A and B are shown apart, each in its own frame.
Chain A
Amino acid sequence: MPEITPENTPALAATHIQSDEPLLFEISSPGKRAWQLPPLDVPEADLELLLPAGTRDDIAGFPELSEIELVRHYTRLSTWNYAIDQGLYPLGSCTMKYNSRLNEVVARLEGLAEGHPLQPAAVMQGALRLMRRLEAALAEITGMDAVTLQPAAGAQGELTGILIIRACLAARGNPRAKILIPDSAHGTNPATAAIAGYRVENLRSDARGLVELSSLERLMDESVAALMLTNPNTLGLFEEDIHRIAELVHARGGLLYMDGANMNALVGRARPGDFGVDVMHLNLHKTFSTPHGGGGPGAGPVAVKSFLEPFLPVPRIVEGEAGGLRLETDRPASIGRVRAFFGNFGMFVRALAYILANGSDGLKQTTDDAVLNANYIRQQLEDSYALPYATPSLHECVFSDRLQARQGVHTGDIAKRLMDYGFHPYTVSFPLIVPGALMIEPTESESREELDRFIAAMRAIAREAETAPELVQAAPHRTRISRLDEAAAARQPVLRWQPKAQG
């Protein structure tokens, strides 16, 4: 213990308040424990007899800590995260909306949180009914005919959808070779197509930011299995020619896949099933408010038109005898299983609770508010930031850093500076078709007061970019740590803690 003097007091205080929280391994100490098992009510295991090939005698480096130390460790770490609970989280395309506490409560009910996926159907009718109700609600919202909840996330939903398309086309005689993907699409789309054994062809966007019909006309031929379209697209724009697009794709024997990442702009206003979509996925963690959890879990249900229903993953939940539900696995046309068990059931519980809490009218109001908020931001920031596409937009708006770049201030810098104003940044440099993109999605969860604070911050940063560009370029200044050297981290990756070499 160092002697405390007036001179070193501030330094000592600082180590407690703003010090780096060490890693678990660095605060670990032999013999500490946070666990206690109940006494064993059966004889002890005879290890030599039961595991004659031997057991491991240690887990070198594994932590040894007391309960209070763990509580403080994880509590301190949590305070270094920005979260929706703290304020606007305008990540475009990510739909960071409020995660209701009621959803968390119902998902933790014992009969929902602790049930086993292989229980006999007779003793999981509640879980099966819950899934059926969610499937039905999603079918109504999307205007599609059948839904599988199994895919674990949006990207896996995409894979499921493309495998369904492939199975359908193969059954018609030719699976075809290519998938068309607009240049504004998420990177998951081309990556998915590749796993499903397809080549990818890029489709250009036109001056409106929408699919260029002439390109589609030229590229859509007998070798194309499907067009993967995000609608509204990543610029927040509704594909106004969707009718012609669907007609063209169908006339030439292809199918229309819709990436439903932006379905939150349409719920209660328009249904993909009504404008020619054959298959789509939904992101329960976006549109239906299941928490993002620091990067997951998500859930990516897939909705299809009835002619594709035979190809859905197994098992399917079907009506059994005597009014009960049962699982059906014998479906020869199915693409198979994409994940063990039913999928991310805990997310189904939350999504259904969200749908029930909002109801028909609330879901539509939610969409309206999300679109209103995005348009409000767009209008209020149009004078400060360049708007590359003048087309009316829905739930998000995409600016570019063209005006600020003249001073050497780029979208990444503006994003970092936003942190100093207490906000999480927008999505940086996406979509790729807008150089220096600032992609802003406020969601319906923001009050006008919060939007006005954000707008004021963005305007202030635009002024700073003119008057003090170096201030913006060096941001953030008020966060716990400053910009990290990502290049050095990637050149010599340190991906785990290791004890310091002895001696």
Chain B
Amino acid sequence: MSYPKNYRYTAEHEWVAAPENGRARIGITDYAQHALGDIVFVELPAAGAHLEAGQPLGTVESVKAVSEVFAPVSGTVTAVNTSLSAHPELINQDPHAGAWMVEVQLDDAAPLDKLMDATRYEAFIAEEQTGKA
């Protein structure tokens, strides 16, 4: 699966889509869903919650693992993808679009530049994979 060129990525394998009117969607990457395996449960914050960059915003669970999802940026949650609670498998099927997790009103768009772009992220995960083998 390809990594959208206009997204930004973190070392913890979250993505942030390009903001529109200061709002951006957040999700986890294809690499992350693959590492976790079949996702069975997602826990997300409520709309209105304020997220701090680097702090956990929720969890995703597979059958035998729990993984925290960290907020890539700071901001206030404006929308939550409620379809994930009934269909967590969407994260396996469509991690970069349909399985967005939350939409946030960014506190500040500037920190986005500090995150990886698609090219750097792909190089980063290639390195992680060689490290493991």
Contacts and interface: CB of A to CB of B under 8 A. Distances in A.
A435 interface: yes
Contacts of B62: 487
Given A487-B62, A490-B63, A491-B88, A435 B40 contact: no
A490 B40 contact: yes
B40 A491 contact: yes
B122 interface: no
Contact of A491 (B41, B64, B132): B41
A486 interface: yes
Interface string A464-503: 0000000000000000000000110011000000000000
Interface string A414-454: 00000000000000010000010000000000000000000
B89 interface: yes
A435 B132 contact: yes
Interface in B21-41: 37-41
Interface in B59-76: 61-64
Contacts of B40: 487, 490-491
Contact of B41 (A429, A435, A486, A490): A490
A319 B100 CA distance: 68
Nearest to A493: B40
Contacts, number: 19
Interface string A381-417: 0000000000000000000000000000000000000
A294 B39 CA distance: 28
Interface residues of A, number: 6
Indicate the size class of the contact surface on chain B.
Answer: 10 to 19
B38 A487 contact: yes
Contacts of B37: 487
B100 to A, nearest CB: 19
Interface string A237-270: 0000000000000000000000000000000000
Nearest to B61: A490
Given A491-B40, A491-B88, A491-B89, A486 B132 contact: no
A194 B38 CA distance: 29
A487 B64 CA distance: 9
Interface string A297-331: 00000000000000000000000000000000000
Interface in B80-95: 88-89
A179 B83 CA distance: 40
Contacts of B89: 487, 491
Contacts of B61: 490
Interface string B37-61: 1111100000000000000000001
A490 B36 CA distance: 14
A487 B65 CA distance: 12
A486 B39 CA distance: 11
Nearest to B63: A486
A491 B91 CA distance: 13
A486 B65 CA distance: 13
A362 to B, nearest CB: 39
Contacts of B64: 429
A300 to B, nearest CB: 25
A143 B21 CA distance: 70
Interface of B: 37-41, 61-64, 88-89, 132
Interface of A: 429, 435, 486-487, 490-491
14 contacts: A486-B38, A486-B63, A487-B38, A487-B39, A487-B40, A487-B62, A487-B63, A487-B89, A490-B40, A490-B41, A490-B61, A491-B41, A491-B88, A491-B89
Given A429-B64, A487-B38, A490-B41, 16 more contacts: A435-B132, A486-B38, A486-B63, A487-B37, A487-B39, A487-B40, A487-B62, A487-B63, A487-B89, A490-B40, A490-B61, A490-B63, A491-B40, A491-B41, A491-B88, A491-B89
Chain A to chain B: the 5 pairs with minimum beta-carbon distance, closest first:
A487-B38, A490-B40, A486-B63, A491-B40, A487-B40
